Copies of this chain bind each other. A is one copy, B any other.
Amino acid sequence: MGLRYGVIGTGAIGGYYGGKLAKAGNEVHFLFHSDYEYVKENGLNISSIDGDFKLFPVSAYHDTKEMPVCDVVLVGLKSTNNHLLKELLPPLLHKDTLVILIQNGLGLEEDLHATFPSLYIAGGLAFICSNKTGKGHIHHLDYGSLNLGLYSGPEKLLEEVCKDLRNAGIKANILELATARWKKLVWNIPYNGLTVALNTTTDKLMNHPSSLKLIHDLMLEVIHASHYLGYPIPDSYAEEMLEMTKVMTPYSPSMKLDFENKRPLEIEYIYSFPIKKALKAGFRMSKVEMLEKELEFIQANYL
């Protein structure tokens, strides 16, 4: 018997990975919000560089209270909605359920653990360019790998999930969670914030020496902060990320899309929590702090 999956937050991320698992034959139950009626009638459409596909019918729900308990819950919510998990999760949980937070930032697992102290928790780091383009429609533009890291619970269960993902055609790996989250921040902190603060896209940032220098400086601050916390990210990882981004499709990171759609920005977990964590360890991320403050001002004045 395979694992039974639940997906909370069936958007660009939850919809893509949940969709791939369902297409590969896994039992996957999806929670929808505004798309529920549409998906019930029309299914879930995924346009992907790896080949388009459609799920129909979809085991779709409008309320987690209607959903069966699951072995694994993939959370693809915006982290600005994580306060909802306190209400959303309990109907899906049995005593060995693993909740995987496929979200950007730092401190997500800590906060969930504080609410559900005995819950098995993992983090998921998606390296993917994917957007929700309309009701029940997800557009997967580039990449697609998913790195998993255990926060609490049995390793064996996470390994099973990793195997299911690979069988579904996803490049999945298990990594040390904290290091993986900090590595992800090396990209997320400069590009998410600067595309909003400078109202631009990744390619324009890469094409001017001043923004390129600033991105590099921000990356090095994040890397140096991670050193104070004992995580082994080499300085050269910044150049690696710059090189990767140079050849990437011009892209608006998720925070830019949130900004354009006047949704709350994920400032807390991507900026505020890492800043506090680093400061506690004795390192001040001065430029990252500035970006945080600019984003808070922008959120208060332009959203």
Interface residue ranges, A against B (CB under 8 Å): 197-198, 200, 204-205, 208, 210-211, 213-214, 217, 286-287, 289-294, 296-298, 300-301
Q: When the two chains form their complex, are residues B287 and A210 in contact, meaning their CB atoms are under 8 A apart?
A: no
A-B contact pairs, 20 of them (CB 8 A): A197-B197, A197-B294, A198-B298, A198-B301, A200-B297, A200-B301, A205-B297, A208-B297, A210-B292, A210-B293, A210-B300, A211-B293, A211-B297, A214-B294, A214-B297, A217-B286, A286-B286, A287-B289, A287-B290, A290-B290
Q: Which residues of B contact A197 (CB under 8 A)?
A: 197, 294
Q: When the two chains form their complex, are residues B301 and A208 in contact, meaning their CB atoms are under 8 A apart?
A: yes
Q: Which residues of B contact A298 (CB under 8 A)?
A: 198
Q: When the two chains form their complex, are residues B290 and A198 in contact, meaning their CB atoms are under 8 A apart?
A: no
Besides A198-B294, A208-B296, A287-B289, 12 more A-B contacts (Cβ < 8 Å) are A210-B293, A210-B296, A210-B300, A211-B293, A211-B296, A211-B297, A214-B290, A214-B297, A217-B286, A286-B287, A287-B290, A290-B290
Q: When the two chains form their complex, are residues B217 and A290 in contact, meaning their CB atoms are under 8 A apart?
A: yes
State how many copies of this chain the complex holds: 2
Q: Which residues of B contact A289 (CB under 8 A)?
A: 217, 287
Secondary structure at the A interface, as helix, strand, loop or mixed, is helix
Q: When the two chains form their complex, are residues A301 and B204 in contact, meaning their CB atoms are under 8 A apart?
A: yes
CA distance A201 to B289 in the complex (A): 21
For A292, the closest partner residue in chain B by CB is B210
CA distance A33 to B98 in the complex (A): 72
Nearest 9 pairs of A and B residues by beta carbon: A210-B296, A214-B293, A286-B286, A210-B293, A211-B297, A287-B290, A210-B297, A290-B290, A208-B297
CA distance A214 to B197 in the complex (A): 14
For A295, the closest partner residue in chain B by CB is B210
Q: Which residues of B contact A297 (CB under 8 A)?
A: 198, 200, 205, 208, 210-211, 214
